[in-house]
Amino acid sequence: MSTNLHSKGCSDSCCLRVQNVSVSIGSEHILKDVSLHVHCGELVALIGPNGAGKSTILKAILGQQEYEGVISFSSPGLRHRKPPRIGYVPQSPAFDPSDPITVADLFACCMSKRPVFLGLGKKMRETVLTCLDRVHGRELIDKRVGTLSGGELQRVLLALALEPLPNILILDEPLSGVDVEGMVTLMDMLDEIRKTYDLSILMTTHNFDLLPRYADQLILIDRTILNQGDPKTVLASDAFCRVFHSKGGHA
Question: For binding to another protein (CB under 8 A), which residues are involved?
Answer: 62, 64, 86, 88, 90, 93, 95-96, 98-102, 104-106, 108-110, 112-113, 115-120, 142, 144-145, 157
Q: How far is the CB of 242 from another protein (least distance, A)?
A: 32
Q: How far is the CB of 180 from another protein (least distance, A)?
A: 26
Give the DSSP letter of residue 183: H
Kindly tell me which of 66 and 96 has the beta carbon lying closer to another protein: 96
Give just the sign of the alpha carbon dihedral 110, 115, 117, 118: negative
Kindly tell me which of 146 and 249 has the beta carbon lying closer to another protein: 146
Q: How far is the CB of 141 from another protein (least distance, A)?
A: 11
Kindly tell me which of 90 and 249 has the beta carbon lying closer to another protein: 90
Provide the strand spans (E) within 48-183: 68-74, 86-89, 168-172
Kindly tell me which of 94 and 246 has the beta carbon lying closer to another protein: 94
Q: How far is the CB of 108 from another protein (least distance, A)?
A: 7
Which residues, 6+ apart, have CB-to-CB distance to 238 below 8 Å?
none
Kindly tell me which of 51 and 93 has the beta carbon lying closer to another protein: 93
**68-74 and 15-25 beta bridge pairing:** antiparallel
Give the DSSP letter of residue 13: -
Find, among 13, 76, 47, the residue nearest to 206 by Cα. Answer: 47
CA distances to 149, 186, 188 from 210, rounded to whole Å, are: 21, 11, 10
Beta-carbon neighbour count of residue 176 at 10 Å? 15
Q: How far is the CB of 99 from another protein (least distance, A)?
A: 6
Whether 130 and 87 have beta carbons less than 8 Å apart is answered as no
